[in-house]
Structure formats: structure tokens, C-alpha cells
Amino acid sequence: MQLSEFRILKVLAEELNMRKASERLYVSQPALSQRLQTIESNWGTIIFIRSQKGLNLTPSGEKILAFVTEVLQKEELVKEELQSLSEHVHGTLKLAVASIIGQYWLPHVLKEYVNLYPHVNISLITGWSSEIIKHLYEDKIHLGIVRGNPEWRGSKEHILSDHLYLVDTTISSLDELSDTTKPFIQFRSHSTYYQEIQDWWHTHFKTTPQKTIVVDQIETCKQMALNGIGYAILPSISLRPEDDFYKIPLTDKKGNAIKRDTWLIHHGTGSELKQVNAFMDLILKLTNE
């Protein structure tokens, strides 16, 4: 079987829908259906069961797809190794970063990186730190950037620490929280971040907030606070000098600022690739400035 047929099976398995797969492969549905029949004929088995709802892998299809995935991964590794021998930095840089890092910190880093190395392709995943660590364990990425204190046994380098602030358009001191009727606006985040906020709150107040609003994105949380809907606790990485609200730093019982750490994690072997090593060098340079 040709590698092109492997890629067809991979896309079909990812989409489980002939129309979506044909769009990704830039072929018509009838042509894709005919190609799939030929592939199945070559294997001598049915790989996908067709239905009105889409496609489903057969048990035989699952085994074939496991083989196909392994071959394509090996092909990519060989290509990367060949590219690393070149004088120029190119290839694919596979990153997974915490969502807040992807939104507020990474864009200016990637801008500088692509200006320096225009021949490198960027593959980027954003999500929670636990998901990023899983991607690394499964060798789906070269580098991960996570928040908090990651349970990672491989290599890791500290990138930055940012302070936590309570922000609001009218509340200018923590003492005012006891009497306010404003809601506490929170964004969904990794459990460790949520726990840090809960621990801080209970060390300062005997009761829970009177009202709460939970949103799915930190930027939504910030914009609601900026518009006076309620108060929020945000990391300094998400704040800008022009943000028109009070910013009250959070401290622990001893008066120390509460911070959130950001780490670069990897296996250590990825730095053998020029595009990976170049990105790590750039981060080191920017964090030391």
C-alpha cells in the first residue's frame, strides 16, 4: 500500500464522515468512496462500516489503523531527522501550551520565531496542563508549556512567574469584598489553579462569595470585569497597563505575593532537532531580557 493510501485512512478515521474527509483530502466523495473500496479490496477486509450517521471502524479496521498510524509517525520522524541535517532551520515545530499562555504570551514569541525561521512549520495545540503532559508522554509534541507545578519527570525550565490580582472597576481594597453585592466572576481552569483561589479566599474571608458567575474563557472573565459586572481574580500575564480597573495584588498569610509559575517541559531529545533547539534558545533569550 502507498503512503497516500495510509493518509486517506488516517483522515477517514479522524473524521468518520465521507464529506468532511473528502474536503480535507480535496477529492470528491464518489472518488474517495471508490478509493476506499480499492483499499479495502487490497486488504481483503472491510475497514469502515458505512451508515447514514457516518463511518465506524470495524475490529479489522482498528488493527489496520494502528499499523497505519505507526508507519506515518515513523515517516515523520525520518523526515525530521533528514531535515535536521540541513544547514537551514526548517521542519515542523510541534507545541502544546496552556490556553492562557497561547492567548497572551505566545503570539509575540511566535512572531519573532517565524521572522527568524520562516521555513519552519508550526503545529500548535492549546489546552490544560494535564492534557499537554499527556501529549508529551504520547510523543505527539516536541515541547509543552504548562502552568503551576507540573508532575513531569523529564526536563523542565522555568519561563516566568506572574502575580495574581483581584480586579474590579469600583472595589479598590479587599475590605470592600465583605459588603459588596457584586458577583465573583470566575473562569474555568485547571483544578490546581481553582484550588489556589479557594485557599486564598478562605484564609481571608469566613463566608463564600454572595454571588458567582462562571465563564469558559479568561478573556470573557476579564471583559465582564472591565464592564463593571463583577470582580475577578486574574493573573498578571492577562493584564495590560491600559485596563481601566483597580488591580489589588493577592498575598498569602505571611504577606508574600501569590504567583503562578509557567514551565517549558520536554523529553530532552527534542532539542536535537534544529527547529526545536532554535525555539528553546529564543525562549531562553526572551526570559533573560
**Rounded Cα distance, 277 and 52, in Å:** 48
Handedness of CA 215, 216, 220, 222 (dihedral sign): positive
Spell out the per-residue pLDDT of the chain, length 289, in tens: 576 889 899 999 999 999 999 999 999 999 999 999 999 999 999 999 998 889 999 999 999 999 999 999 888 888 877 776 666 788 899 999 999 999 999 999 999 999 999 989 999 999 988 899 999 988 889 999 999 888 888 889 999 999 999 999 999 999 999 889 999 999 887 767 888 888 888 888 888 888 999 998 899 999 999 999 999 999 999 999 999 999 999 998 888 999 999 999 998 765 678 899 999 999 988 887 6
- Report the SS3 class of residue 121: strand
Model pLDDT, residue 85? 65
Q: Which three-class secondary structure string do you get for 46-91? A: CCEEEECCEEEECHHHHHHHHHHHHHHHHHHHHHHHHHHCCCCCCE
Q: What pLDDT sits at residue 269? A: 63
Please report the pLDDT score of residue 95 as a whole number: 96
Query: What is the rounded (10 degree) CA torsion for 229, 231, 236, 242?
Result: 40
Distances 168 to 155, 188, 200, 207, 247 between C-alpha atoms, Å: 39, 19, 18, 20, 7
Alpha helices in 205-258 (DSSP H): 218-226
pLDDT at 110: 96
Counting Cβ atoms within 10 Å, is residue 113 exposed (0-12), middle (13-18) or buried (19+)?
buried
- pLDDT at res. 86: 67
Q: What is the pLDDT of residues 74-111, one digit of tens each?
A: 888 888 777 766 667 888 999 999 999 999 999 999 99
| H or E element in which residue 270 lies | none
The closest of 194, 210, 208 to 260, measured between CA atoms, is 194
